[in-house]
Structure 1
Amino acid sequence: MAASATHTPLPNEAKPRLSAGLIPAAMLSGSAVLIFALQLPLAGYGLLAASVVAAFFVNRALFRDLLLLALGLLIISTISLEANIDYPNIALMGTVLTLSVLVPYLLSRYAYKDHAIRFPIRTGQRWTTLERWYLPLVVLLGYLILPSYFIGSGAYLNWPAISTPDELARLFVGVGFVGIWDELFFICTAFALLRRHFPDWQANLLQAVIFTSFLWELGYQSWGPLMTFPFALLQGYTFARTRSLTYVVCVHLLFDLVVFLVLVHAHNPEWLAIFPY
Protein backbone atom coordinates (compact mmCIF):
# COMPACT_ATOMS: atom_id res chain seq x y z
CA MET A 1 0.00 0.00 0.00
CA ALA A 2 2.93 2.31 0.47
CA ALA A 3 3.18 5.01 -2.15
CA SER A 4 6.28 5.17 -4.24
CA ALA A 5 6.44 8.93 -3.77
CA THR A 6 4.73 11.48 -1.59
CA HIS A 7 1.90 13.23 -3.38
CA THR A 8 2.28 16.99 -3.23
CA PRO A 9 -1.05 18.78 -3.75
CA LEU A 10 -1.27 21.47 -6.39
CA PRO A 11 -2.00 25.07 -5.41
CA ASN A 12 -5.74 25.72 -5.51
CA GLU A 13 -5.51 27.96 -8.57
CA ALA A 14 -3.61 25.26 -10.49
CA LYS A 15 -6.29 22.58 -10.09
CA PRO A 16 -8.58 22.14 -13.11
CA ARG A 17 -12.23 23.02 -12.64
CA LEU A 18 -13.25 19.89 -14.47
CA SER A 19 -11.30 16.67 -14.20
CA ALA A 20 -11.96 12.98 -14.66
CA GLY A 21 -11.24 12.52 -10.97
CA LEU A 22 -14.51 14.24 -10.10
CA ILE A 23 -16.39 11.16 -11.26
CA PRO A 24 -14.99 8.69 -8.69
CA ALA A 25 -14.99 11.38 -6.01
CA ALA A 26 -18.67 12.13 -6.65
CA MET A 27 -19.39 8.40 -6.63
CA LEU A 28 -17.78 8.13 -3.20
CA SER A 29 -19.88 11.01 -1.86
CA GLY A 30 -22.96 9.46 -3.41
CA SER A 31 -22.23 6.16 -1.69
CA ALA A 32 -22.52 7.97 1.66
CA VAL A 33 -26.04 9.09 0.68
CA LEU A 34 -26.99 5.49 -0.08
CA ILE A 35 -25.37 4.00 3.02
CA PHE A 36 -26.29 6.56 5.68
CA ALA A 37 -29.24 8.59 4.42
CA LEU A 38 -31.20 6.12 2.28
CA GLN A 39 -30.18 3.01 4.26
CA LEU A 40 -29.32 1.05 1.11
CA PRO A 41 -26.07 -0.59 2.24
CA LEU A 42 -25.60 -3.04 -0.64
CA ALA A 43 -26.02 -0.35 -3.28
CA GLY A 44 -23.89 2.01 -1.20
CA TYR A 45 -21.05 -0.46 -0.75
CA GLY A 46 -21.16 -1.27 -4.44
CA LEU A 47 -20.89 2.39 -5.39
CA LEU A 48 -18.15 2.92 -2.81
CA ALA A 49 -16.10 0.06 -4.23
CA ALA A 50 -16.72 1.27 -7.78
CA SER A 51 -15.49 4.76 -6.84
CA VAL A 52 -12.18 3.41 -5.57
CA VAL A 53 -11.73 1.16 -8.60
CA ALA A 54 -12.52 4.03 -10.97
CA ALA A 55 -10.04 6.27 -9.17
CA PHE A 56 -7.33 3.64 -9.67
CA PHE A 57 -7.65 4.02 -13.45
CA VAL A 58 -7.97 7.81 -13.35
CA ASN A 59 -5.25 8.91 -10.96
CA ARG A 60 -3.16 6.78 -8.60
CA ALA A 61 -2.74 9.61 -6.07
CA LEU A 62 -6.50 10.15 -6.03
CA PHE A 63 -6.97 6.40 -5.66
CA ARG A 64 -4.81 6.32 -2.53
CA ASP A 65 -6.70 9.19 -0.93
CA LEU A 66 -10.17 7.90 -1.85
CA LEU A 67 -9.15 4.53 -0.44
CA LEU A 68 -8.48 6.19 2.91
CA LEU A 69 -11.89 7.87 2.83
CA ALA A 70 -13.58 4.63 1.78
CA LEU A 71 -12.01 2.81 4.72
CA GLY A 72 -13.24 5.51 7.08
CA LEU A 73 -16.79 5.28 5.71
CA LEU A 74 -16.73 1.49 5.92
CA ILE A 75 -15.71 1.65 9.57
CA ILE A 76 -18.49 4.13 10.36
CA SER A 77 -21.07 2.00 8.58
CA THR A 78 -20.45 -0.99 10.86
CA ILE A 79 -22.75 0.52 13.51
CA SER A 80 -26.13 2.21 13.66
CA LEU A 81 -25.81 5.98 13.93
CA GLU A 82 -29.23 6.51 15.45
CA ALA A 83 -29.05 8.58 18.63
CA ASN A 84 -28.72 6.23 21.57
CA ILE A 85 -27.13 7.34 24.84
CA ASP A 86 -27.08 3.97 26.59
CA TYR A 87 -23.66 3.34 28.09
CA PRO A 88 -22.78 0.31 25.87
CA ASN A 89 -23.76 2.20 22.73
CA ILE A 90 -21.77 5.27 23.78
CA ALA A 91 -18.69 3.06 24.22
CA LEU A 92 -19.28 1.27 20.90
CA MET A 93 -19.95 4.43 18.92
CA GLY A 94 -17.01 6.22 20.49
CA THR A 95 -14.68 3.37 19.59
CA VAL A 96 -15.89 3.03 16.01
CA LEU A 97 -15.85 6.77 15.27
CA THR A 98 -12.37 7.06 16.76
CA LEU A 99 -11.13 4.22 14.55
CA SER A 100 -12.68 5.85 11.47
CA VAL A 101 -10.35 8.81 12.00
CA LEU A 102 -7.35 6.93 13.38
CA VAL A 103 -7.09 4.27 10.66
CA PRO A 104 -6.92 6.71 7.69
CA TYR A 105 -4.51 8.92 9.64
CA LEU A 106 -2.13 6.08 10.49
CA LEU A 107 -2.22 4.69 6.95
CA SER A 108 -1.54 8.14 5.49
CA ARG A 109 1.24 8.86 7.95
CA TYR A 110 3.03 5.52 8.06
CA ALA A 111 2.01 3.58 4.93
CA TYR A 112 1.89 6.48 2.48
CA LYS A 113 4.49 8.40 4.46
CA ASP A 114 2.88 11.78 3.96
CA HIS A 115 1.13 14.34 6.12
CA ALA A 116 -2.12 14.75 4.19
CA ILE A 117 -4.21 14.43 7.35
CA ARG A 118 -3.33 16.96 10.03
CA PHE A 119 -5.08 18.26 13.11
CA PRO A 120 -3.85 21.87 13.46
CA ILE A 121 -4.72 22.77 17.04
CA ARG A 122 -2.11 25.46 17.64
CA THR A 123 -1.53 27.53 14.51
CA GLY A 124 0.28 30.44 16.15
CA GLN A 125 -2.17 32.88 14.56
CA ARG A 126 -4.55 35.05 16.57
CA TRP A 127 -8.20 35.05 15.63
CA THR A 128 -9.27 38.11 13.70
CA THR A 129 -12.01 40.45 14.85
CA LEU A 130 -14.37 38.94 12.29
CA GLU A 131 -13.60 35.44 13.53
CA ARG A 132 -14.28 36.49 17.11
CA TRP A 133 -17.62 38.07 16.21
CA TYR A 134 -18.60 35.00 14.22
CA LEU A 135 -18.69 32.90 17.41
CA PRO A 136 -21.60 34.74 19.12
CA LEU A 137 -23.31 34.96 15.73
CA VAL A 138 -23.27 31.15 15.55
CA VAL A 139 -24.99 30.99 18.95
CA LEU A 140 -27.60 33.54 17.83
CA LEU A 141 -28.33 31.67 14.61
CA GLY A 142 -28.65 28.42 16.51
CA TYR A 143 -31.03 30.09 18.96
CA LEU A 144 -33.22 31.36 16.12
CA ILE A 145 -33.15 28.29 13.86
CA LEU A 146 -32.79 25.16 15.98
CA PRO A 147 -35.99 25.37 18.07
CA SER A 148 -38.14 25.73 14.96
CA TYR A 149 -36.33 22.83 13.35
CA PHE A 150 -36.27 20.33 16.19
CA ILE A 151 -39.69 21.10 17.66
CA GLY A 152 -41.55 22.22 14.55
CA SER A 153 -40.47 19.19 12.51
CA GLY A 154 -40.59 16.74 15.41
CA ALA A 155 -36.96 15.81 14.74
CA TYR A 156 -36.23 15.98 18.47
CA LEU A 157 -38.04 12.65 18.77
CA ASN A 158 -35.06 11.08 17.00
CA TRP A 159 -33.18 11.62 20.27
CA PRO A 160 -34.16 9.73 23.44
CA ALA A 161 -36.19 11.44 26.13
CA ILE A 162 -33.93 12.88 28.81
CA SER A 163 -34.74 14.19 32.26
CA THR A 164 -32.41 12.70 34.88
CA PRO A 165 -28.99 14.23 35.65
CA ASP A 166 -27.27 11.10 34.34
CA GLU A 167 -29.18 11.24 31.05
CA LEU A 168 -28.47 14.94 30.67
CA ALA A 169 -24.76 14.35 31.24
CA ARG A 170 -24.62 11.52 28.72
CA LEU A 171 -26.44 13.57 26.08
CA PHE A 172 -24.16 16.56 26.70
CA VAL A 173 -21.02 14.45 26.35
CA GLY A 174 -22.40 12.58 23.34
CA VAL A 175 -23.38 15.71 21.44
CA GLY A 176 -20.01 17.30 22.15
CA PHE A 177 -18.02 14.20 21.19
CA VAL A 178 -19.82 13.80 17.87
CA GLY A 179 -19.36 17.52 17.17
CA ILE A 180 -15.59 17.26 17.66
CA TRP A 181 -15.46 14.05 15.64
CA ASP A 182 -17.35 15.72 12.78
CA GLU A 183 -14.48 18.18 12.37
CA LEU A 184 -11.80 15.51 12.68
CA PHE A 185 -13.35 13.31 10.00
CA PHE A 186 -15.29 15.51 7.60
CA ILE A 187 -12.97 18.51 7.65
CA CYS A 188 -9.48 17.38 8.70
CA THR A 189 -9.76 14.05 6.88
CA ALA A 190 -12.34 14.13 4.06
CA PHE A 191 -12.02 17.80 3.06
CA ALA A 192 -8.24 17.77 3.52
CA LEU A 193 -7.81 14.73 1.27
CA LEU A 194 -10.23 15.93 -1.40
CA ARG A 195 -8.75 19.42 -1.67
CA ARG A 196 -5.41 17.86 -2.64
CA HIS A 197 -7.04 17.01 -5.98
CA PHE A 198 -9.86 19.51 -6.52
CA PRO A 199 -10.47 23.24 -6.04
CA ASP A 200 -11.63 24.02 -2.53
CA TRP A 201 -15.24 24.68 -3.56
CA GLN A 202 -15.51 21.26 -5.20
CA ALA A 203 -13.85 19.46 -2.30
CA ASN A 204 -16.14 21.33 0.07
CA LEU A 205 -19.28 20.27 -1.80
CA LEU A 206 -18.12 16.66 -1.84
CA GLN A 207 -17.41 16.57 1.90
CA ALA A 208 -20.67 18.39 2.69
CA VAL A 209 -22.67 15.64 0.96
CA ILE A 210 -20.98 13.03 3.17
CA PHE A 211 -21.36 15.22 6.27
CA THR A 212 -25.09 15.75 5.64
CA SER A 213 -25.70 12.05 4.96
CA PHE A 214 -24.08 11.12 8.27
CA LEU A 215 -26.16 13.66 10.18
CA TRP A 216 -29.35 12.43 8.51
CA GLU A 217 -28.91 8.96 9.99
CA LEU A 218 -27.90 10.52 13.30
CA GLY A 219 -31.31 12.20 13.47
CA TYR A 220 -31.18 15.50 11.56
CA GLN A 221 -34.03 14.49 9.28
CA SER A 222 -37.14 16.18 7.87
CA TRP A 223 -35.84 19.52 6.51
CA GLY A 224 -32.60 19.08 8.45
CA PRO A 225 -30.38 18.92 5.32
CA LEU A 226 -31.42 22.51 4.48
CA MET A 227 -29.60 23.44 7.66
CA THR A 228 -26.83 20.84 7.91
CA PHE A 229 -25.60 21.13 4.31
CA PRO A 230 -24.92 24.90 4.53
CA PHE A 231 -23.37 24.37 7.95
CA ALA A 232 -21.01 21.74 6.51
CA LEU A 233 -20.05 24.11 3.69
CA LEU A 234 -19.41 26.95 6.15
CA GLN A 235 -17.21 24.70 8.28
CA GLY A 236 -15.15 23.66 5.27
CA TYR A 237 -14.82 27.26 4.10
CA THR A 238 -13.90 28.42 7.61
CA PHE A 239 -11.23 25.76 7.93
CA ALA A 240 -9.79 26.67 4.54
CA ARG A 241 -9.56 30.31 5.65
CA THR A 242 -8.33 29.84 9.22
CA ARG A 243 -6.42 26.55 8.85
CA SER A 244 -7.38 26.00 12.49
CA LEU A 245 -9.03 22.89 13.87
CA THR A 246 -9.40 24.69 17.19
CA TYR A 247 -11.50 27.43 15.62
CA VAL A 248 -13.88 25.18 13.67
CA VAL A 249 -14.31 22.97 16.74
CA CYS A 250 -15.21 26.06 18.81
CA VAL A 251 -17.79 27.03 16.19
CA HIS A 252 -19.24 23.54 16.14
CA LEU A 253 -19.36 23.14 19.91
CA LEU A 254 -21.11 26.48 20.36
CA PHE A 255 -23.74 25.41 17.84
CA ASP A 256 -24.03 22.01 19.51
CA LEU A 257 -24.46 23.65 22.90
CA VAL A 258 -27.65 25.20 21.53
CA VAL A 259 -28.61 21.80 20.07
CA PHE A 260 -28.27 20.27 23.53
CA LEU A 261 -30.33 22.99 25.23
CA VAL A 262 -33.08 22.77 22.60
CA LEU A 263 -33.28 18.97 22.95
CA VAL A 264 -33.56 19.31 26.72
CA HIS A 265 -36.36 21.84 26.32
CA ALA A 266 -38.12 19.82 23.63
CA HIS A 267 -38.32 16.74 25.85
CA ASN A 268 -39.11 18.82 28.94
CA PRO A 269 -41.16 21.84 27.74
CA GLU A 270 -41.31 23.37 31.21
CA TRP A 271 -37.50 23.61 31.26
CA LEU A 272 -35.54 26.34 29.47
CA ALA A 273 -38.66 28.01 28.07
CA ILE A 274 -36.51 30.67 26.42
CA PHE A 275 -36.66 29.67 22.77
CA PRO A 276 -38.70 31.22 19.96
CA TYR A 277 -40.70 28.80 17.81
Structure 2
Amino acid sequence: MTIRLTFDLDTVRQLAEHAAAAAAAAGTDHTGTDRPGPALLLRSGSNGIWLTSNAAHPQPAPAGQPGTLDRRAAFATQCPPGTPSRAQARLLRTEATPLMHVLALDEPAGLPLLQQLRAGDLAGATTVTVLLSGAAPSVAVGRRRERGLGHHQPRTDAQRPHWQNLLHQYRPLPHYERIRVLMARIDRLREDNARLHHAHLTLTGFGVLAQRDDVFARTAAFHQEARGISAELHTLGAHEAARLAVDGWYLTLTTHRAPNPGN
Protein backbone atom coordinates (compact mmCIF):
# COMPACT_ATOMS: atom_id res chain seq x y z
CA MET A 1 0.00 0.00 0.00
CA THR A 2 1.26 3.47 -0.93
CA ILE A 3 0.68 6.38 1.46
CA ARG A 4 0.44 9.73 -0.31
CA LEU A 5 1.35 12.87 1.66
CA THR A 6 0.92 16.27 0.00
CA PHE A 7 2.71 19.47 1.05
CA ASP A 8 2.69 23.07 -0.19
CA LEU A 9 5.59 23.47 -2.62
CA ASP A 10 6.35 27.10 -1.75
CA THR A 11 6.75 26.32 1.96
CA VAL A 12 8.81 23.20 1.26
CA ARG A 13 11.09 25.07 -1.13
CA GLN A 14 11.73 27.78 1.46
CA LEU A 15 12.60 25.13 4.04
CA ALA A 16 14.94 23.51 1.51
CA GLU A 17 16.61 26.85 0.72
CA HIS A 18 17.18 27.41 4.42
CA ALA A 19 18.75 23.97 4.84
CA ALA A 20 20.97 24.52 1.80
CA ALA A 21 22.08 27.96 2.99
CA ALA A 22 22.90 26.60 6.45
CA ALA A 23 24.89 23.74 4.92
CA ALA A 24 26.82 26.15 2.70
CA ALA A 25 27.64 28.39 5.66
CA ALA A 26 28.71 25.52 7.90
CA GLY A 27 30.47 23.38 5.29
CA THR A 28 29.92 19.72 6.09
CA ASP A 29 29.68 20.19 9.87
CA HIS A 30 26.07 19.46 10.79
CA THR A 31 26.76 18.19 14.27
CA GLY A 32 23.63 16.97 15.98
CA THR A 33 21.57 16.61 12.80
CA ASP A 34 20.49 13.48 10.99
CA ARG A 35 22.91 13.67 8.08
CA PRO A 36 25.98 15.71 7.07
CA GLY A 37 24.32 17.53 4.18
CA PRO A 38 21.21 19.65 3.56
CA ALA A 39 17.98 17.71 3.95
CA LEU A 40 14.33 17.86 4.83
CA LEU A 41 13.15 15.83 7.80
CA LEU A 42 9.81 14.02 7.56
CA ARG A 43 8.32 13.49 11.01
CA SER A 44 4.99 12.60 12.63
CA GLY A 45 3.54 13.04 16.10
CA SER A 46 1.17 15.24 18.03
CA ASN A 47 1.54 17.98 15.40
CA GLY A 48 0.40 15.72 12.59
CA ILE A 49 2.89 14.97 9.80
CA TRP A 50 5.40 17.62 8.83
CA LEU A 51 8.62 18.53 7.03
CA THR A 52 11.35 20.71 8.53
CA SER A 53 14.87 21.80 7.62
CA ASN A 54 17.73 19.80 9.14
CA ALA A 55 19.73 22.98 9.80
CA ALA A 56 21.27 23.20 13.27
CA HIS A 57 19.49 26.52 13.80
CA PRO A 58 16.02 26.19 12.18
CA GLN A 59 13.80 29.08 11.32
CA PRO A 60 11.36 29.94 14.14
CA ALA A 61 7.70 29.12 13.65
CA PRO A 62 5.97 32.04 11.90
CA ALA A 63 3.02 33.73 13.52
CA GLY A 64 -0.14 31.80 12.84
CA GLN A 65 1.54 28.47 12.16
CA PRO A 66 -0.76 25.75 13.51
CA GLY A 67 0.40 23.32 16.17
CA THR A 68 3.07 23.69 18.82
CA LEU A 69 6.32 23.24 16.87
CA ASP A 70 8.90 25.91 17.68
CA ARG A 71 10.28 25.89 14.11
CA ARG A 72 8.92 26.55 10.65
CA ALA A 73 7.32 23.48 9.09
CA ALA A 74 5.29 22.33 6.13
CA PHE A 75 2.35 20.16 7.16
CA ALA A 76 0.83 17.31 5.18
CA THR A 77 -2.61 18.17 3.85
CA GLN A 78 -3.78 14.71 4.88
CA CYS A 79 -2.64 15.10 8.49
CA PRO A 80 -2.22 18.69 9.78
CA PRO A 81 -1.91 19.66 13.45
CA GLY A 82 -5.09 18.76 15.29
CA THR A 83 -5.64 15.52 13.40
CA PRO A 84 -6.96 12.90 15.87
CA SER A 85 -4.37 10.29 16.77
CA ARG A 86 -6.61 7.50 15.53
CA ALA A 87 -6.92 9.13 12.11
CA GLN A 88 -3.14 9.49 11.92
CA ALA A 89 -2.71 5.85 12.94
CA ARG A 90 -5.09 4.75 10.19
CA LEU A 91 -3.24 6.84 7.61
CA LEU A 92 0.17 5.47 8.61
CA ARG A 93 -0.94 1.95 9.42
CA THR A 94 1.63 0.38 7.09
CA GLU A 95 4.54 2.54 8.30
CA ALA A 96 6.75 2.39 11.36
CA THR A 97 5.82 5.37 13.52
CA PRO A 98 6.69 7.99 14.40
CA LEU A 99 7.99 8.79 10.92
CA MET A 100 11.72 9.54 10.84
CA HIS A 101 12.64 9.88 7.16
CA VAL A 102 15.44 12.02 5.74
CA LEU A 103 14.97 13.57 2.28
CA ALA A 104 18.41 14.54 1.05
CA LEU A 105 18.43 17.77 -0.94
CA ASP A 106 21.72 16.95 -2.71
CA GLU A 107 20.45 13.67 -4.20
CA PRO A 108 20.21 12.21 -6.80
CA ALA A 109 23.66 13.23 -8.01
CA GLY A 110 22.54 14.16 -11.52
CA LEU A 111 19.66 16.42 -10.53
CA PRO A 112 19.23 16.91 -6.79
CA LEU A 113 15.92 17.44 -5.05
CA LEU A 114 16.69 21.09 -4.27
CA GLN A 115 17.07 21.81 -7.99
CA GLN A 116 13.83 19.97 -8.70
CA LEU A 117 11.97 22.05 -6.11
CA ARG A 118 13.30 25.27 -7.61
CA ALA A 119 12.45 24.20 -11.15
CA GLY A 120 9.00 23.00 -10.12
CA ASP A 121 8.27 26.34 -8.49
CA LEU A 122 9.46 28.14 -11.62
CA ALA A 123 7.24 25.89 -13.75
CA GLY A 124 4.14 26.77 -11.71
CA ALA A 125 3.85 23.60 -9.66
CA THR A 126 2.05 23.92 -6.32
CA THR A 127 2.60 20.70 -4.41
CA VAL A 128 5.24 18.26 -3.23
CA THR A 129 4.02 14.71 -2.74
CA VAL A 130 5.88 12.23 -0.56
CA LEU A 131 5.04 8.61 -1.33
CA LEU A 132 5.60 6.01 1.36
CA SER A 133 5.52 2.43 0.19
CA GLY A 134 8.58 0.88 1.79
CA ALA A 135 11.85 1.78 3.48
CA ALA A 136 12.75 4.64 1.12
CA PRO A 137 10.24 7.44 0.44
CA SER A 138 9.80 8.90 -3.04
CA VAL A 139 9.13 12.55 -3.82
CA ALA A 140 7.08 13.94 -6.71
CA VAL A 141 7.14 17.68 -7.48
CA GLY A 142 3.49 18.32 -8.10
CA ARG A 143 0.91 19.68 -10.41
CA ARG A 144 0.99 22.93 -12.31
CA ARG A 145 -1.29 25.84 -11.47
CA GLU A 146 -2.57 25.98 -15.04
CA ARG A 147 -3.22 22.83 -17.01
CA GLY A 148 -4.31 24.02 -20.45
CA LEU A 149 -3.57 22.02 -23.59
CA GLY A 150 -1.42 24.69 -25.19
CA HIS A 151 2.22 25.28 -24.34
CA HIS A 152 3.57 23.33 -21.38
CA GLN A 153 7.00 24.88 -21.22
CA PRO A 154 8.92 24.72 -17.91
CA ARG A 155 9.39 28.47 -18.17
CA THR A 156 7.32 31.28 -16.72
CA ASP A 157 4.84 33.12 -18.92
CA ALA A 158 7.16 36.12 -18.79
CA GLN A 159 9.99 34.04 -20.26
CA ARG A 160 7.96 32.71 -23.19
CA PRO A 161 7.87 36.05 -25.10
CA HIS A 162 11.60 36.44 -24.42
CA TRP A 163 12.24 33.03 -26.04
CA GLN A 164 10.27 34.14 -29.12
CA ASN A 165 12.01 37.51 -29.25
CA LEU A 166 15.35 35.76 -29.37
CA LEU A 167 14.39 34.29 -32.74
CA HIS A 168 13.99 37.80 -34.13
CA GLN A 169 17.29 38.88 -32.62
CA TYR A 170 19.10 35.96 -34.22
CA ARG A 171 17.83 36.61 -37.76
CA PRO A 172 21.03 38.47 -38.82
CA LEU A 173 23.21 35.53 -37.74
CA PRO A 174 24.62 33.46 -40.61
CA HIS A 175 23.25 30.20 -39.19
CA TYR A 176 19.79 31.51 -38.31
CA GLU A 177 17.91 28.62 -39.95
CA ARG A 178 19.82 26.06 -37.91
CA ILE A 179 19.26 28.10 -34.75
CA ARG A 180 15.54 28.22 -35.50
CA VAL A 181 15.40 24.44 -35.95
CA LEU A 182 17.28 23.83 -32.71
CA MET A 183 15.06 26.20 -30.71
CA ALA A 184 11.96 24.53 -32.14
CA ARG A 185 13.37 21.17 -31.05
CA ILE A 186 13.82 22.49 -27.50
CA ASP A 187 10.17 23.55 -27.51
CA ARG A 188 9.14 20.07 -28.63
CA LEU A 189 11.28 18.41 -25.97
CA ARG A 190 9.72 20.56 -23.27
CA GLU A 191 6.21 19.75 -24.48
CA ASP A 192 7.01 16.03 -24.54
CA ASN A 193 8.52 16.27 -21.07
CA ALA A 194 5.45 18.10 -19.75
CA ARG A 195 3.12 15.44 -21.15
CA LEU A 196 5.25 12.73 -19.58
CA HIS A 197 5.24 14.67 -16.30
CA HIS A 198 1.44 14.97 -16.36
CA ALA A 199 0.91 11.29 -17.15
CA HIS A 200 3.35 10.25 -14.45
CA LEU A 201 1.70 12.42 -11.80
CA THR A 202 -1.71 11.05 -12.73
CA LEU A 203 -0.49 7.47 -12.26
CA THR A 204 1.36 8.40 -9.09
CA GLY A 205 -1.84 9.90 -7.71
CA PHE A 206 -3.38 6.44 -7.95
CA GLY A 207 -0.37 4.86 -6.25
CA VAL A 208 0.98 3.34 -9.48
CA LEU A 209 4.79 3.48 -9.43
CA ALA A 210 5.73 0.86 -12.02
CA GLN A 211 6.45 3.62 -14.55
CA ARG A 212 9.06 5.30 -12.34
CA ASP A 213 12.21 3.89 -13.96
CA ASP A 214 10.90 4.63 -17.44
CA VAL A 215 10.09 8.21 -16.43
CA PHE A 216 13.62 8.69 -15.09
CA ALA A 217 15.15 7.27 -18.27
CA ARG A 218 13.00 9.29 -20.67
CA THR A 219 13.37 12.55 -18.74
CA ALA A 220 17.14 12.04 -18.54
CA ALA A 221 17.18 11.47 -22.32
CA PHE A 222 15.26 14.72 -22.88
CA HIS A 223 17.69 16.59 -20.66
CA GLN A 224 20.72 15.03 -22.35
CA GLU A 225 19.47 16.05 -25.79
CA ALA A 226 18.77 19.57 -24.51
CA ARG A 227 22.36 19.86 -23.25
CA GLY A 228 23.65 18.85 -26.69
CA ILE A 229 21.41 21.41 -28.38
CA SER A 230 22.54 24.06 -25.89
CA ALA A 231 26.18 23.40 -26.76
CA GLU A 232 25.46 23.74 -30.50
CA LEU A 233 23.45 26.93 -29.98
CA HIS A 234 26.40 28.37 -28.10
CA THR A 235 28.80 27.64 -30.95
CA LEU A 236 26.36 29.30 -33.38
CA GLY A 237 26.34 32.52 -31.34
CA ALA A 238 22.87 32.05 -29.79
CA HIS A 239 24.22 32.34 -26.27
CA GLU A 240 21.03 33.34 -24.44
CA ALA A 241 19.03 30.60 -26.14
CA ALA A 242 21.79 28.16 -25.17
CA ARG A 243 21.39 29.15 -21.53
CA LEU A 244 17.61 28.91 -21.58
CA ALA A 245 17.70 25.56 -23.37
CA VAL A 246 19.04 23.85 -20.24
CA ASP A 247 17.19 25.97 -17.69
CA GLY A 248 14.24 24.57 -15.76
CA TRP A 249 14.57 20.88 -16.49
CA TYR A 250 13.76 18.58 -13.60
CA LEU A 251 13.00 14.96 -12.82
CA THR A 252 9.49 14.40 -11.52
CA LEU A 253 10.26 11.70 -8.98
CA THR A 254 13.16 11.16 -6.61
CA THR A 255 13.71 8.10 -4.46
CA HIS A 256 15.55 8.73 -1.19
CA ARG A 257 17.63 6.32 0.80
CA ALA A 258 16.46 5.28 4.22
CA PRO A 259 18.43 6.97 7.04
CA ASN A 260 21.25 4.99 8.57
CA PRO A 261 20.02 3.76 11.97
CA GLY A 262 23.50 4.33 13.33
CA ASN A 263 23.34 8.07 12.69
Larger Rg: 2
TM-score (norm 1): 0.29
Higher helix share: 1
Report which structure shows greater RCO (CA 8 Å, sep ≥6). Answer: 1
TM-score computed with the length of structure 2 as normaliser = 0.30
- Higher strand proportion, which one? 2
